[in-house]
Structures are given as structure tokens and as C-alpha cells.
Structure 1
Amino acid sequence: MLRVEGLDAGYGEAQILFGVDVSVGEGEVVTLLGRNGMGKTTTVRAIMGLLPAKAGRIAFGGRDLTGAPPFRVAQAGIGLVPEGRQIFPTLSVEENLIATAADRSGKKRWDLGRIYAFFPRLRERRENRGNQLSGGEQQMLAIGRALMTNPKLIILDEATEGLAPLIREEIWNCLTALKAEGESILVIDKNVDALVRIADRHVVLEKGRVVWRGTSAELRSDSAVKDRFLHF
């Protein structure tokens, strides 16, 4: 579904990514792991068209999206839950969900009723403005907003950053349920123990390069990789 091949990207003269390869198959959950500043968010920004690729290719569903503007990437069916959530602070929960609603997948599985059933707390807070929500509620809203586009692929950048442990567990349960629904997911987070329970495959970045890739079983058993590249 998503194929990123030989991706180079950076900011101005500073090159951050060096030949990064990442792929996500249909119905697959893949993680992008690494310490802070290793290029994970830069990879996501390049995929979403928010940062130009200096080299390499980004393809989605067999369509070349290299150099495509962000709105074309969204129209192709990639939904983003960005780092920092970036919900609309002065819109209500319901207005946030409706604002970007679409049917990118051609299946239209997600509407307000399903989002509220999936996140009952959002139903309770549906008339509250975005800036009146807790961090966990904002993350639920950001995920719900992405799902309302009925995407073919969801990307979550720092899925549980800054959230309390109980709320983190709610987000992991959400991702587990989305996987059971057959959603394709690319997720960035630091909680490796939770991710190996959910994800099919993992890609580890170090200084903008892929230094390891493998399954959850392989990552779980490879303490050297965790100690060297994933010690936060």
C-alpha cells in the first residue's frame, strides 16, 4: 500500500534522512522507532507532502506521490494524527470531526455515530471546544478526525506523548481495535513494550538511516537493538 524507497529529506542545507525505506501493507500495523531527533517526524512530514523529498520515491496504492502537495496526499487516502494533536481549538468536538469528513477509502465505514461509539467520551464532550478538552480527549479527537476522512492508511506521530498511563492504555486499546477492523496504520511512539503487542513490523531509525527492521517477535527477542537504539 505505502512504499517509501530511498528517501532523502531535510531542512534547508541540513539533510536529515538518508535513503530511508518504509512500507505498510493493507491491514498491517508498522512502527517507526528511534530516539528523539532521529528522523521519524521528518519521514512523516515527507510522506504527507509537508516537506519535499530531495531523493527517492513515495508511492501509495500504486500511485506516485513524490512531490505531491499535502491536499493531494490526503485525497489519496492518508489520514494523519499529527504530533501535538493540532485540533481546531475554537471549534466544538463535533465541528472538529465534521470539518474534514470525507470518504477517501470508498467504503465510508466511519461517521459521527461510529466515532462516538468508538470514543464515548467524545460524545459526552461533543459540544465542548477543542481547547476545553484534556490531553487524552484531544488525542481521541485527533484520531477520530483522521478516521472521519475514511482513510486507507492512518499515520500517528507520537501516539501517546505526554499522556497519563491510563490514557495511554486507552489509546493502545484503540489501536488494537483499529487493527481488528483491518485498518492500515503507521505509528510512531516511544512505548516499545506496547507496540510489540500491537504491531506486525518495526523500522528503527538512527541519525536518519534505517538501522534495523523486523517483526514484533524479532524485536522482543533482540535486547541489543533495544539497548542500542531505543533506550530513551
Structure 2
Amino acid sequence: MLEVRDIEAGYGSSQVLFGVTLSIRQGEVVTLLGRNGMGKTTTVRAIMGLNRISAGEISFNNQPLGRVAPYRAARAGIGLVPEGRQIFPTLNVRENLIATAANHRRAREPWSLQRIYQLFPRLAEREQHLGSNLSGGEQQMLAIGRALMTNPLLLILDEATEGLAPLIREEIWRCLELLKQQGESILIIDKNLDALMRISDRHYIMEKGRIVHQGDIQLLRDDPDLKYRYLGV
């Protein structure tokens, strides 16, 4: 599905990524791990076309993405829940959800307002509230719902539960587990290893702009030295 091969990217003259390679197969949940500042968000931005790559290739369902405009990545079927949520603060919940709604994948059961409200009942309760008046957890639910309304083939979450209260985090993880059961392909960046291990199939670990380890999630679960060396836990 997604193939990232030997990409290099950065900001201006500062190179951040050095030969990053990763892949995601249909129906997989893959996690991208690493300490802060190791290149995880830059990798996501490169996949979405928000950071142009200077070397390497990115393809999605055999379509080249490495040097296309960001809207092409969205139209190809990638839905992004960005770090910081980035919802529309002056639109209400309903307007946020329908603003970018699409069915590029022509899903048989496309995501609708009703399905999003079933997944996140709190959003139904807040339907007429402006984005700026929502709590952090509600904004994250809205950001996930907005991405799902594009009916993505691949959902990417950058810092899925960062800064959220424990109960809200658990609700987010519950919804992600449900999406996995429904066969969604997901790439997740997060620091909550216990939750990631419940739903992830494979992992990649980044350090200083490079992939330094990859494998199935059981390997990471059983190797405390690996977690301490690269993740500090």
C-alpha cells in the first residue's frame, strides 16, 4: 500500500531525514516510534507532500507521491490527523466534519456524520459548538472524525493522544481498536507504548532521522533493553 524508499528531506539547508525506508500493507496498524526531534513528524509531512523530498521515492497504491502537492496525497486516499489537531476554530463541529468530506475511495459504506457521531458520541453532543470552544480531547476526536470523513485508505495520526487526559486517551484508543477491527490501515505516532502494543502489528523506531529498528510488536514488547536504548522507557 504505502512504500517509502530511502527518502531524504529537511527544512531549508537543514537535513532531517537520511534514507528513511518503511512500508504499510493494507489492513495493518504500524507505529512510528522515537524520542522527540528524531524525524517522525518530518516523515509524515514528506508522505503528505508538505515537505518535499530531496532524494528517494514515495508511492501509495503504486502511485508516486514523493513530489506532488499535498492535495494529491489526500485524493489518493491518505487521511492525516496532524500534530496539534489543526481543526477550523471558527467552524462548528458539524461544519468541520463536512468541510473536507469526500469519498475518493468510493467506499461501500462511506463515513457519514451519523457514523462519526456513533464513534464519538461527544461530538454529537457538541455539534453546534465552535472548534475553538472544544476541549483538547474533543478537538482530537474532531480531527480524527474529519480525517475519516475523507474515507481514507490509510489513516495517519501524528501524536494521537499527546497532552490528553487519561479517560480521553482511553476513548481514543478504544476507537482506534474499533477501526483496526474494521480493517482500516493506520500509521500512528504516539508515546503510549502500552496502548500501541495492544493495537499495532509492526513498529519502526527512528533516531536522528534514520530508521534504526523495525519488527513485529511482540519483539518490542519482549525486549526492555531495546525500549530503553531508543525510547528511554
Q: TM-score, normalised by structure 1?
A: 0.99
Please name the residue that 1:166 is paired with: 167
Please name the residue that 1:67 is paired with: 67
Q: CA RMSD in A?
A: 0.8
Please name the residue that 1:195 is paired with: 196
Kindly provide the amino acid, as one letter, of the partner of residue 81 in structure 2. Answer: V
State the distance in 2 between where 1:215 and 1:168 align. 24
Kindly provide the amino acid, as one letter, of the partner of residue 160 in structure 1. Answer: T
Unaligned ranges ≥5, structure 2:
none
SS for the counterpart of 1:154 is: strand
The question of 1:17 aligning with 2:17 is answered yes
SS for the counterpart of 2:162 is: coil
SS for the counterpart of 1:37 is: coil
Cα offset, 1:78, TM superposition: 0.3
Please name the residue that 2:148 is paired with: 147
The question of 1:82 aligning with 2:82 is answered yes
Mapped contact 1:104–1:152 kept (Cα < 8 A)? no
Kindly provide the amino acid, as one letter, of the partner of residue 212 in structure 2. Answer: V
State the distance in 2 between where 1:142 and 1:125 align. 14
State the distance in 2 between where 1:231 and 1:138 align. 29
State the distance in 2 between where 1:165 and 1:231 align. 21
SS for the counterpart of 2:45 is: helix
State the distance in 2 between where 1:2 and 1:106 align. 19
The C-alpha deviation readout for 1:84-124, integer Å capped at 9, x for no partner, is 00000010000000000000221152011100111110000
Cα offset, 1:21, TM superposition: 0.8
Please name the residue that 1:183 is paired with: 184
Cα offset, 1:12, TM superposition: 1.0
Poorly superposed stretches of 4+, deviation over 3 Å: none
The question of 1:207 aligning with 2:183 is answered no
State the distance in 2 between where 1:55 and 1:95 align. 39
Mapped contact 1:17–1:43 kept (Cα < 8 A)? yes
State the distance in 1 between where 2:119 and 2:197 align. 23
Please name the residue that 2:106 is paired with: 106
Alignment of 1:41-56 (within 5 A): 41-56=41-56
State the distance in 2 between where 1:63 and 1:141 align. 29
SS for the counterpart of 1:53 is: coil
State the distance in 1 between where 2:220 and 2:132 align. 38
% identical equivalent positions: 66
Cα offset, 1:13, TM superposition: 1.1
Q: TM-score, normalised by structure 2?
A: 0.98
State the distance in 2 between where 1:104 and 1:26 align. 17
SS for the counterpart of 1:57 is: strand
Cα offset, 1:166, TM superposition: 1.0
Kindly provide the amino acid, as one letter, of the partner of residue 155 in structure 1. Answer: I
State the distance in 2 between where 1:55 and 1:94 align. 40
State the distance in 2 between where 1:167 and 1:231 align. 25
